[in-house]
Amino acid sequence: MQKQEFQQLIDKYLNGQATADEVQLLMELFDNAQTNNDWDEQTLGVKQDLEDKMLQRLQSAVQQSSAKHQPKVFKIFASRNVAAAVIGLMIISAGVYYGTRHTAKEVALAKNKTVVKHDADPGKNEAVLTLDNGEKVVLDSARIGTLAKKGNISIKKTKDGQLVYQVEEGKASAANGPVAYNTISTPRGGQYQVILPDGSKIWLNAASSLKFPTAFTGSQRDVELTGEAYFEVAKNPSKPFMVNVNALKVKVLGTHFNINAYADEDDIKTTLLEGLVQLTSGNNHNLLKPDEQGIVKGDNIQVVEVDAERAVAWKNGFFDFNRASIRDIMKQLSRWYNIEVVYNGKVSDDEFMGRIERNVKLSQVLHVLELSHVHFKVEDKKITVSP
């Protein structure tokens, strides 16, 4: 095919005018173009820019289909060697829709293939509350109602599984005594929501913990986080809310934000959805505005624009991948399904873009990922990833 014809095919795809056969041909041509150096930027444009546009177009098309068909399980795209969208996929409650180059035969094989010897259930609401006296309360099996009381503070578990700290009126102030600290910890395969004494709401992701006082009596509201959490902080201009994550301090008055600070990640990411927060690491300070993310590595703080909703997809029941490598994906699956991950050989360097519901079994997620140059073997609580 001549380069001008290739360009016309690209234009039709980006304008939403390409037929199914033309989309199939375009994906194959673009994928093949990654293996040679015969790319004419003057005619076809910058390859990376074109790839971004094609991924956006594919994502938009699937989102429109989602609105019509109400997808039940997940949708995900993968790009090979940072190529254009090689796989476009969406599972719908009544059937399966696949975009791009996979044939009906390949789809049937993927649906019927057994890729796991054992399966794993998704995570659930599960946590342990450690009181200031060292007593531990297992929250997934804890009774509904009051779990503990100290002074004017009551700790209650609601019917929907939330943990609520309530300050009871008409009793002596907690400020008259020493500050007591509690810690709520989620295991791998667990998540939980807690409402603090000031009314702030915190959602903890898997393998995370939050240490906090049972009453905020000082000039600011200090908590300590490990892992990942989403915060909806109650407004109180006279008493700032401070999240301490190792050397990073996140200062807010009242706002919605997410912090990802897992020890096995390369950096700490704070993503702002609403309000204003200040990041401090060492002698460096930065303010975040909505749809900005602060990436902290050491004392360095980098601020980038993002789609903030992606950062809290986990809280809304989804994995959301934006050019994620298979290793990045497996970190998330490992925490949520409570499994160990090992690698055998050089795994695929595909990048994945899309979302998967977190309430499906592990095998369903692996079936989809196997369509893109990666294979899995699951035995007991361990996944072996191989090319």
Q: pLDDT by residue (tens digit) across 314-335?
A: 999 998 887 788 899 999 999 9
Widest distance between CA atoms in the chain: 83
42, pLDDT greater than 50: yes
**Residue percentage of the chain with pLDDT more than 70:** 71
Cβ-contact 101, 80 below 8 angstroms: no
- Residue 96 has a pLDDT of 28
CB 34 within 8 A of CB 80: yes
The confidence score (pLDDT) of residue 125 equals 92
- Asked if pLDDT for residue 132 goes beyond 70, the answer is yes
| Higher local confidence (pLDDT), 27 or 91 | 27
- What's the mean pLDDT in 305-316? 94
Mean pLDDT of the chain: 78
Residues with Cβ within 8 Å of 117's Cβ and at least 6 positions away in sequence, in order, are 377, 378, 379
- Inter-CA distances, 192 with 17, 91, 296, Å: 46, 28, 25
DSSP 3-state of 221: strand
- 1-119+309-387: which CATH topology? Phage tail protein beta-alpha-beta fold (3.55.50)
List the single range of 24-28, 240-244, 306-310 with lowest mean pLDDT. Answer: 24-28
pTM of the model as a whole: 0.75
Q: Identify the bridge partners of residue 225 per DSSP, sorted by sequence position.
A: 210
Mean pLDDT calculated for residue range 271-292: 95
DSSP state of 131: P
Q: Describe the crossing of helices 20-33 and 3-14 by its angle, rounded to 10 degrees.
A: 120
**pLDDT category, 105, cuts 50, 70, 90?**
very low
Q: Quote the pLDDT of residue 91.
A: 28
* CB-CB contact of 312 with 319 (8 Å): no
- In this structure, of 69-78, 82-91, 205-214, 255-264, the range with the lowest mean pLDDT score is 82-91
Query: What dihedral do alpha carbons 241, 335, 313, 108 form, nearest 10°?
Result: 180
- Among residues 340, 335, 332, 317, the alpha carbon closest in space to that of 369 is found at 332
At residue 92, the pLDDT reads: 25
Of the listed ranges 32-36, 103-107, 355-359, the one predicted with least confidence:
103-107
* Phi/psi at 216 (5° precision): -90, 100
In the prediction, which pLDDT does 150 show? 74
Residue 275 has pLDDT above 60, yes or no: yes
* Contact status, residue 375 vs residue 387, Cβ threshold 8 Å: yes
* Fold equal for 1-119+309-387 and 124-308: no
Q: What is the pLDDT of residue 41?
A: 61
28 compared with 195, residue with greater pLDDT: 195
Hunting for tokens 């929501």 — which residue is that? 193
Q: Where are the domains of the chain?
A: 1-119+309-387, 124-308
pLDDT confidence tier of residue 50, bands split at 50, 70 and 90: low
Q: Which of 291, 281, 295 is nearest to 257 (CA)?
A: 291
Which three-class secondary structure string do you get for 342-373? Answer: EECCCCCCCEEEEEEECCCCHHHHHHHHCCCC
- Residues 164 and 205: beta-carbon distance below 8 Å: no
Q: What is the pLDDT of residues 191-242, one digit of tens each?
A: 999 999 899 999 999 999 999 998 898 899 999 999 999 999 999 989 999 9
In this structure, which amino acid lies at residue 203? W
Give the pLDDT score at 58. 57
Q: Which long-range contacts does 317-320 make (Cβ < 8 Å, 24+ apart)?
A: 317/357, 317/358, 317/359, 318/355, 318/356, 318/357, 318/358, 319/355, 319/356, 319/357, 319/358, 320/354, 320/355
CA torsion sign, 131 to 133 to 138 to 141? negative
Statement: 124-308 belongs to CATH 3.30.465.10: no
Q: CA 356: distance to chain centroid? A: 10
**pLDDT digits 0-9 by tens, 133-185:** 899 999 987 888 888 887 778 889 988 888 998 876 654 444 456 788 999 99
Burial 99-133 (b: 16+ CB within 10 A, else e): bbbbeeeeeeebeeeebbeeebebbeebbbbbbee
Instruction: State mean pLDDT over 43-68.
Output: 57
Tokens found for residue 218: 């000082």
Average pLDDT for residues 78-90, to the nearest whole number? 36
Nearest-angstrom CA–CA distance, 208 and 333:
15
**Token pair in block for residue 153:** 């503070």
DSSP code of residue 264: T
Distance CA 358, CA 125 (A): 12
Answer whether residue 61 shows pLDDT above 60.
Answer: no
Amino acid letter for position 308: A
Q: What is the average per-residue pLDDT within 274-288?
A: 94
Please report the pLDDT score of residue 346 as a whole number.
Answer: 86
At residue 71 the predicted structure's pLDDT band, cuts being 50, 70 and 90, is very low
Cα-based torsion angle of the residue sequence 257, 188, 246, 248 in order, rounded to the nearest 10 degrees: -20
* Average pLDDT for 110-137: 77
State how far Cα 41 lies from the chain centre: 35
